Amino acid sequence: MKKITTILFVFLGITLGFAQENDTPEFTGDNFSLEGALAIFKKSNSLEEFEKLINEENNNVNNLDLNNDGNIDYINVDDIKENDTHVIVLSTYLSQSEKQDIATIGIEKTGNEEATLQIDGDNELYAENTIVEPFDTQDSIDKSKSGPAMPEIITTNVMVNVWFWPSVRFIYAPRYVVWASPHRWGFYPRWWKPWRPYRHAIFYTRCAPHRVYYHRTPTHRVFVARKVYSPRRHSSTLVVKNRRGTTVIHKNKRGNVKAVKVSRRGRR
């Protein structure tokens, strides 16, 4: 009996170890919640506040460690403005000279008091066309054409006018000065305290509330923003994407390089 118990414990240990070792998302970008970024953006009063909030652990947005140093990466927020179009770029430094974009929030003014937005995950980190947008629902009654049957209530998703979000009103204010993050590699705000990444399964559960009002869509709705952003995109030479996922190339002091599959062995 003792021998059987010992074997069971060994098997359980191997199983748990294997599960933790393979607790990685299919795409590295899944360790950054696009839905969470929009949820935080909606309640922020400025881009400076937005940058601060997405870099706080308890907001459950960021779980990226692209440079694999055991600590969460700091997310920079920068705005690109062209006429009535804004592109809010979320990025991180992998070294003093290497910067990788993570996602972009494209915002376009579509009327006097109307604006639409979507967030796109960068193709180096996410699956192709990973797009998230806010949504609302609208109920309508479909009257039955066959006799006195009860009418059917149909619920459909509708686009959200984001004009009245504080963050949107902020960037469209007459005296708005285009925001650029003042932080760089090695120069981070005093309030920021990096933490060790969570295992992906835990992170996915923690950021579940963000997915209630924001969903993924295959359709692009902000076209000008994509054109404005395209020539200004940052893609690190240390990040390589292939069919097996995203790989970060790490250099040692001698200049030699080693390809390392991004792993997420967190403390929790």
pLDDT tens column, 241-266: 544 556 565 554 444 444 445 443 44
Q: How far is CA 29 from the centre of its chain?
A: 7
Q: From CA 88, how far away is CA 120, in angstroms rounded?
A: 10
* Residue-wise DSSP of 4-31: HHHHHHHHHHHHHHHHHHT---SSGGGG
Any bridge partners for residue 240, and if so which?
247
Name residue, tokens 């009860």: 150
Is the pLDDT at 16 greater than 90? The verdict is no
Print the domain residue range for 220. Answer: 28-236
Identify the pLDDT of residue 199: 94
The answer to which of 7-11, 129-133, 176-180, 225-229 has the lowest mean pLDDT is 7-11
Residue 115 pLDDT grade (very low, low, confident, very high; cuts 50, 70, 90):
very high
Identify the pLDDT of residue 209: 94
Identify the pLDDT of residue 68: 86
Note whether residue 117 is domain-resident.
Answer: yes
Note whether residue 267 is domain-resident.
Answer: no
Q: From CA 266, how far away is CA 246, in angstroms rounded?
A: 18
Note whether residue 152 is domain-resident.
Answer: yes
Note whether residue 37 is domain-resident.
Answer: yes
CA dihedral sign, ordered 86, 179, 246, 197: negative
Note whether residue 101 is domain-resident.
Answer: yes
Query: Percentage of the chain surpassing pLDDT 70?
Result: 72
Query: In this structure, which amino acid lies at residue 100?
Result: Q
Query: In this structure, which amino acid lies at residue 133?
Result: E
Kindly report the backbone phi and psi dihedral angles of residue 171, in degrees, each rounded to the nearest multiple of 5, phi listed first.
-75, -15
Note whether residue 194 is domain-resident.
Answer: yes
| C-alpha closest to that of 246 among 132, 133, 131, 130 | 130
Domain total for the chain?
1
Note whether residue 146 is domain-resident.
Answer: yes
Note whether residue 2 is domain-resident.
Answer: no
Q: How far is CA 202 from the centre of its chain?
A: 16
**pTM (global) more than 0.85:** no
Task: Classify 257 as helix, strand or coil.
Answer: strand
CA trace torsion 247, 26, 64, 262 (10° rounding): -30
